[in-house]
Chains A and B, each alone.
Chain A
Amino acid sequence: MRFDLPDAPPRAEDLRRELRAFLAEAGRDWTPEIRARSWMGFDRDFSRAVGARGWIGMTWPTIYGGSESSGLERIVVLEEMLAAGAPVGAHWIGDRQSGPLILRLGTEEQRTRILPGIAHGELAFCIGLSEPDAGSDLANLRTKCERVPNGWKLNGRKIWTTFAHKSDYMIALVRTSPAPEGGSRHAGLSQFLVDLRLSGISIRPIRDLAGEDSFNEVTFDDVLLREDDLLGTEGAGWAQATSELAFERSGPDRYLSSYPALASGIDALNAMPAPGAEVTIGRMVARLNTLRGMSLSVGGMLERGESPAVEAALVKDAGNVFEQALPEHIRNLIDPADSPEELRRMLAGLAQLAPTFSLRGGTREILRGIIARDLGLR
């Protein structure tokens, strides 16, 4: 395992200034609940405004709506959005993984059809991975796509699909041929670009513990896909879906989900001092700074074309521990009964959301299994 700290990109400070001015204006009416939801907040108007500033898909070629910025400049944008508690959910998945996947593996038709829409904040994506019997054991998935004349026929069911009910497309991992007898279950899987308006698709929101419709069950009943809805290579779906994991797992969204509560907590503590608060705050700030260094290191390695998959798993695991502990630390410093209304509501929101931090994008147990394998234990 290796972490090399990158230099900050040359125009980072200017970019941060622009972002902070934009977010101060855009965020005037964000409630504590919205800030607590962070990248689980879905706001198409906001995403369109972000797209109009050129801050989605910014590493992509200009012909696809990007500005060919560096990956580290993109991270500057992500960091500022998350630190402000911006509701970035409508473009987050498209910018983070669906878009890059289409750019790398898609046909020219797919790229020109989809990427500018993501970059403009118009197209929202969801990720079709988990199924009722395939969670951490993803290769056990059953949804299948069969060849039919001029295309494919899709049948099966995806579940826990975040924002499927609000999204335009899903990139689904499905089985296109049976796993070879005694061979790897990773063989025979393929990825498809599924337009969620197609007939035969029913999307049932699943109410979460906070009373929100954030994730869904998506059923495919003889859904007819076109030949060119296949993404990448038939049968290479597993490698394709896992190749982006280092991007998915190492970003600032893996340690900043509850950051707004730290900033608000500091202000509340200034109004209502608590004994020993400085030590707890200092420990959190030290962790925050270190996690940021780790995340940026992986970002720098990705920018150089390396594949730091284990390092990314480690950043996500350590980051999740931090972002789950943060609201609890604040809560232990200020009794919720004495807490300012704004902070109390933010902490209440985070308490209900925090369990997902170490579930989404790979559970803590799966990540630690990856690290253990790298240590030579498996």
Chain B
Amino acid sequence: MSELRGILVEQVDRLIGDGGGVALLRTVEVGSWPATLWAGLEQQGLNLALVPEKAGGVGLSWGDAAALWQVLGRHGAPAPIAETMLAAALLSAAGIEVPGGPLGLGRDDVPFGRHAAHLVILHGAQVALHAPGEAAPHINIGREPRDALTPGAHIAAGMLPNSFGPRAALLGFALIRAALIAGALEHVLALAVDWANTRKQFGRTIGKFQAIQQQLAAMAGEVAAVSVAVSQAARAVDAHGLAGAAFEIGCAKIVAGEAATLGAATAHQVFAAIGITEDHELHHFTRRLWAWREEGGTERAWAAEIGRAALARGGANLWPDLTARDVQGAD
């Protein structure tokens, strides 16, 4: 990790951590807007993190952004900053000036859509900025706002460059969800390890039992795998653009979805009854893991796309196609 990325990650970790922890997740789940946290995030310029410096943004790489999203996931993503970063990047790439405030992207299942200050709608490579219109409130099983929006007045329009391709919003969402899952899993693993080292049965902490150790070690493998898959995907976006990174983004979402399934199950097994109580922190994360694996394309959907392509290319091309995607270093 570069030094800059390390500093950023630490800053954002502290900012969101100070925002209220699991208490904040509880208020978000009953429909409150995390106004203080949002103001702090915007004050740091994070909404403009993926907007190039020459367009008035911070000019972070996608690799940096994905690292921040992972931190956000560790805290359960209590505000739509990742989605706003993505929407701002798309607006700016289409030559549209980015307004302040939370941005909604798309019409259906828009994260925190009822709170959006503006709405960004994509039709293929066409980008339109709208005033917020009507919002029909919905929630996912994480009890996060996922609203259906009817756009308000049309404000501006533009076209994305070719490197974004015709489904930039989906690809961006998928990468965001994979990164959030990576972070949430890190937190869930830490909670489970801490519990295993605290809870005593048969006269010793349950973490001393090999059965528990082996399960948590297997989960740690999955947590590491998601993190690597997300890094590969973000790096591919930096190297080849969003459209050119569809393969790596799909891989990341598949591995993230599979890891979310195993990680949530393992953590609940380790925590046993206490972990499924309303008062416990765990379910705020496991419900989000189950929700996020469905958003931005399921494992099944991405696997079908990648598998179809692999079958069409034939067995002899599989390995050369994988290695041809390597990001080349400088000579």
Contacts and interface: CB of A to CB of B under 8 A. Distances in A.
Given A5-B228, A8-B326, A8-B328, A282 B306 contact: yes
A9 B307 contact: no
Interface residues of B, number: 59
Interface string B310-329: 11001110111011101111
B133 to A, nearest CB: 38
A368 B311 contact: no
B62 interface: no
Give the interface SS of chain B, mostly helix, strand, loop or mixed: helix
Contacts of B306: 281-282, 285-286
Interface string A99-124: 00000000000000000000000000
Interface stretch (B97-105, B159-167, B210-218, B285-293): B210-218
B311 A281 contact: yes
Contacts of B250: 282, 286
A241 interface: no
Interface string A339-378: 0000000000000000000000000010111011011111
Given A263-B315, A267-B314, A377-B197, A281 B228 contact: no
A368 B214 contact: yes
Contacts of B316: 263, 267
Contact of A377 (B193, B225, B328, B331): B193
B175 to A, nearest CB: 14
Given A280-B307, A368-B213, A377-B207, A289 B232 contact: yes
Interface stretch (B18-26, B30-38, B274-282, B295-303): B295-303
Contact of B255 (A263, A277, A286, A367): A286
Give the interface SS of chain A, mostly helix, strand, loop or mixed: helix
A267 B214 contact: no
A201 to B, nearest CB: 38
Interface in A295-347: 297, 311, 314, 317-318
Give the interface size bracket for A toward B. Answer: 35 or more
Contact of A278 (B251, B252, B308, B320): B308
A290 to B, nearest CB: 4
A3 B216 CA distance: 19
B234 to A, nearest CB: 10
B313 to A, nearest CB: 8
A375 B217 contact: yes
A266 interface: yes
B221 A371 contact: yes
A67 interface: no
A258 B221 CA distance: 20
B254 interface: yes
Interface in A260-296: 262-267, 269-270, 277-283, 285-294
A290 B251 contact: yes
B224 interface: yes
B235 interface: yes
A259 B250 CA distance: 21
B185 to A, nearest CB: 13
A281 B251 CA distance: 12
